[in-house]
Amino acid sequence: MADVAPIVADERLKREGVVTTLMKRPELGAVAGAIAVTIFFLFTASPTMFTLSGVMNFMTPAAQLGILAIGAAMLMIAGEFDLSIGSMVAFSGLIFGAFVVTFGMPLVIAIPATFAIAAALGVLNGTIVLKTGLPSFIVTLAFLFILRGASLVGLKIATGGSTQLRGVRDALSGDWLAPIFSGNAFTGLFTYLGKIGVIDTFPNGTTKVPGIPVEILWFIAFALIATYVLLRTPQGNWIFASGGDENAASNSGVPVRKVKISLFVLTACCATLVAIITVIDAGSTDARRGFMKEFEAIIAAVIGGCLLTGGYGSAIGAFFGAIIFGMVTIGLTYTNFDQDWYQVFLGAMLLAAVLFNNFIRKRVTGER
d(CA 78, CA 229): 13
Within 10 Å of residue 87's Cβ, how many Cβ atoms? Answer: 26
Contact 265, 123 (CB under 8 A): yes
d(CA 359, CA 88): 34
What confidence category does residue 16 fall into, taking pLDDT thresholds of 50, 70 and 90?
low
d(CA 144, CA 85): 7
State the Cα torsion 71-74-80-82 to the nearest 10°: 10
Tell me the per-residue pLDDT of 346-357, one tens digit each, with 9 for 90 and over.
788 778 777 777
184: left (phi over 0), alpha (psi -120 to 50) or beta: beta
d(CA 97, CA 284): 7
Mean pLDDT to the nearest integer, 217-230: 97
Strand partners, 164: 286
In a 3-state reduction of DSSP, which class is residue 308? Answer: coil
d(CA 239, CA 310): 9
Give the containing element (helix H, strand E) for 321: helix 315-331
Q: Residue 340 has what pLDDT? A: 79
d(CA 318, CA 77): 11
Q: Residue 159 has what pLDDT? A: 87
Tell me the per-residue pLDDT of 47-60, one tens digit each, with 9 for 90 and over.
999 999 999 999 99
Contact 64, 216 (CB under 8 A): no
CA angle 336, 289, 53 (to 5 degrees): 45
Lowest model confidence (mean pLDDT) among 96-105, 114-123, 206-215, 305-314: 305-314
DSSP string, 20-77: HHHHT-TTHHHHHHHHHHHHHHHHHS-GGGGSHHHHHHHHHHHHHHHHHHHHHHHHHH
Strand partners, 185: 212
Q: Residue 203 has what pLDDT? A: 86
Give the containing element (helix H, strand E) for 275: helix 256-282
CA angle 149, 273, 278 (to 5 degrees): 75
CA angle 166, 171, 172 (to 5 degrees): 115
Give the containing element (helix H, strand E) for 184: strand 184-185
Q: Residue 280 has what pLDDT? A: 95
Within 10 Å of residue 7's Cβ, how many Cβ atoms? Answer: 6
Provide the terminal-to-terminal Cα distance of the chain, rounded to the nearest Å: 55
Contact 129, 121 (CB under 8 A): no
Q: Where are the alpha helices (DSSP H) in 98-233?
A: 107-132, 136-159, 168-171, 178-181, 187-195, 214-232
For a pLDDT cut of 90, what percent of the chain falls above it?
A: 65
Q: Residue 361 has what pLDDT? A: 62
Domain residue limits, the chain: 58-169+185-363
pLDDT at 7 > cutoff 90: no
Q: Residue 367 has what pLDDT? A: 59
Q: Which fold has domain 58-169+185-363?
A: ABC transporter involved in vitamin B12 uptake, BtuC (1.10.3470)
**Distances in whole angstroms, Cα of residue 102 to Cα of each of 94, 158, 281:** 11, 7, 18
State the Cα torsion 272-276-277-283 to the nearest 10°: 150
Tell me the per-residue pLDDT of 89-147, one tens digit each, with 9 for 90 and over.
999 999 999 999 999 999 999 999 999 999 999 999 999 999 999 999 999 999 999 99
